[in-house]
Structure 1
Amino acid sequence: MKLLASWKSFIAVALAVIVAQNLVAQQIQSYSMPADDYDANIVKLNALALPFRNISLQYERLVSRKISVAVGLRMIPKGNFPMLDAFESYIDDAETFDELQNIRVSNQAITIEPRFYFGRHDGPRGFYIAPYGRYSTYGLGFRQFEYTVEEEDEAGYYQAETHTMALEGRISGITGGLLFGSQWRIGRWVYLDWWILGPAYGAANGKLSGSSSMPLDPKAQTALEEELENLEIPMLDTEAHVDSKGAKLDMKGPWAGIRTGLAVGIRF
């Protein structure tokens, strides 16, 4: 339900942005170009992202002869890491691979970008540069997060007992970047948009938490806290909090990413 609510909010924001930009575009078009001169609207799907369970849509609206505004929506439904089996041979540590199989991830994002075209053709064609801003949320969950309680009895016998706890959380990030790309019109209706490279940088924060079905004793709390602190999440600083009822991991820090893709579009 939380995933659906987040996605609905993203769609509402995107629709508001599209309506606003259409009003601006109509005013600009009335002064800068005839309405029938160029392909003013293109809707696209990033074909390269589909094998990764990534549904990435974009709507582009031309606002002058060489400038457009694009709004992108991305969604990755909750599930295991996409195409994890294809990368098994590249992961040397079997324990790491097992942990990755145990993780569930999801993602939603909205991206807004003005595009500046430099090709010899007017309209949304040729090489372009696009500064962009993106708001994204990442769902992160562990079906069974393992931690081991070690102890030694009075006779000196050592024993270790492994426990598990389900953890669920979310990371939210805001990034800004610069995309370099090129777009071609193929035939009368179809466009091909190559997102060559779009590095981005920003900040993110989030929380991962879980509750225990039974009260945790001090030894179990210590073991769980140590295991959470050893959990490596790229670029983010983490701080674990554990009590008898469960655990919480706070996450905060810089956030970076790279956009790339090949989108197929239809003009209208």
Structure 2
Amino acid sequence: MKKNLVLVLLVMTGIAAKAQENVIKFNIFSPIVKTFNASYERKVSATSSFQLGGFFTSYSPGETNFSGFGITPEYRFYLSSTEAPEGVYVAPFVRYQSFKLTEDTSNSKGTLSTFGGGLVIGKQWIFKEKISLDIFIGPQYSSGKVKVTDGTDTFDTGAFDGFGVRTGLTLGFAF
């Protein structure tokens, strides 16, 4: 009986010590710009992971209103001594975005599709083997094309087209 109890305790300890391989997270600053942003990260090896993020937005940085979505795959290389998905990382990424545009002053309408990429550096913590906190920043470039469907091209697409900075702070659940 004692041998069985010891065996059960050893198995349970091994299960409890299992590293987390998946993280679902949400960018906590996104609601400030009327955006819902979520990501799923999957550990690939001890030092790397793949993340797929997506967002939906209805954002108006000026005269132009943007309504649409984006998708961002990235591959993370963890540089710290802890195993992925925890620690310091660098991550190249690509991003596709598709928006409907409206411009209130001229009553113009159109669409914008962009494709781009960049590189972020960040750090992710896993607390109590369940809660993730991830902070990142890095340069990005997106190139896009506006298609006018009504009116003239008076759209200010600078918020989503050209050079910029990708930054975020996410809170999530590791499992």
Contact 1:173 1:255 in 2 (8 A): no
Offset, 1:187:
1.9
SS at match of 1:63: strand
Q: Report the TM-score when normalising by structure 1.
A: 0.54
> Which residue number in structure 2 is paired with residue 54 of structure 1?
35
The corresponding residue for 2:148 is: 208
Equivalent position of 2:52 in the other structure? 71
Mapped to 1, the partners of 2:52 and 2:155 lie a distance apart of 33
Among residues 69, 73, 86, which one is paired with 1:108 in the alignment? 69
The total of aligned residue pairs comes to 158
Q: Give the distance between the partners of 1:69 and 1:61, measured in 2 at CA.
A: 5
**What CA distance in whole angstroms lies between the structure 2 residues aligned with 1:232 and 1:108?**
18
Question: Deviations 1:154-200 (Å, cap 9, x if unpaired)?
Answer: xxxxxxxxxxxx321111111011011100112231010001x1211
Larger relative helix fraction: 1
Which of these two proteins has the greater Rg computed from alpha carbons? 1
CA distance in 2 between counterparts of 1:53 and 1:234 reads 17
Q: TM-score, with normalisation over the residues of structure 2?
A: 0.80
Judging by fraction of residues, say which structure has more strand: 2
Aligned twin of 2:101: 140
Unaligned 5+ runs, structure 1: 1-35, 83-99, 146-165, 212-227, 236-253
Superposed CA RMSD: 2.3
Aligned residues with identical type, % of pairs:
30
Higher relative contact order (CA 8 A, sep 6+): 2
Give the Cα–Cα distance (whole angstroms) in 2 for the partners of residues 135 and 232 of structure 1. 19
